[in-house]
Chains A and B, each alone.
Chain A
């Protein structure tokens, strides 16, 4: 089954404790992206990757890191989480980033709470 998977689905942590949210897709997609969803703010892009070893900042990159060492995986790293990073996070992928109508497929989401 074609899908985007994220782990963990739920995470409660404390301020300053490094964490990684994993994202994996099995569709051989070149483009992957991370979003955060907050009430009243919709989905905002954190980072994106056009292909392996190619990453760039989205609209709200502060406090986050990413890496793209393999085509299928795109982990999101919070080196020192803070309470304002409490949010619902989504990973998404699409075949490419340049095609006008390339559909983005979203993962099921990771609900992160930073105390």
Chain B
């Protein structure tokens, strides 16, 4: 089955700096890569995603890049703000057994220091 590794597990940055979270996956059949943000006391919420036929996608201060050859993808947050502090999960999805199975990474706790 799919295995998703995520690094780092914790990340502290100064407000205004950039943050980068990296993930690797093992299954070359994975074709969709969502990123989730989990704020304290809440469930994960989708913030950005990318399909396997796209190399990069940007939404305001958030961008995701995908390297299919190397099987890795990354989340980039620019001009970080205190409200960006949360746990971030990457995920890889592939069609298996009649449905899109989503495998999550282990999470990155991001702390933005004011």
Contacts and interface: CB of A to CB of B under 8 A. Distances in A.
A50 B105 contact: no
Contacts of A47: none
A69 B9 CA distance: 39
A108 B45 CA distance: 10
A92 B97 CA distance: 19
A39 to B, nearest CB: 9
Contacts of B32: 100-101
A101 B49 CA distance: 8
Nearest to A94: B100
Given A98-B100, A101-B32, A108 B49 contact: no
A37 B8 CA distance: 18
Contacts of B41: 108-109
Interface in B72-102: 89, 93, 95, 97-102
Interface residues of B, number: 29
Given A98-B98, A101-B51, A42 B6 contact: yes
Contact of A42 (B34, B89, B100): B89
Nearest to A58: B101
Contacts of B44: 43, 90, 106
- Size category, A interface: 20 to 34
B43 interface: yes
Given A40-B9, A109-B42, 18 more contacts: A42-B106, A43-B44, A45-B101, A48-B99, A50-B98, A56-B97, A97-B98, A98-B99, A98-B100, A99-B100, A100-B32, A100-B93, A100-B100, A101-B51, A103-B34, A104-B102, A106-B43, A108-B42
Query: What are the 7 tightest A-B residue pairs by CB atom distance, in nearest-first order?
Result: A106-B43, A97-B99, A42-B106, A43-B104, A42-B104, A106-B44, A100-B32
Interface of B: 1, 4, 6, 9, 31-32, 34, 36, 41-46, 49, 51, 89, 93, 95, 97-102, 104-107
8 contacts: A42-B104, A42-B107, A43-B89, A50-B98, A100-B32, A101-B51, A106-B43, A109-B41
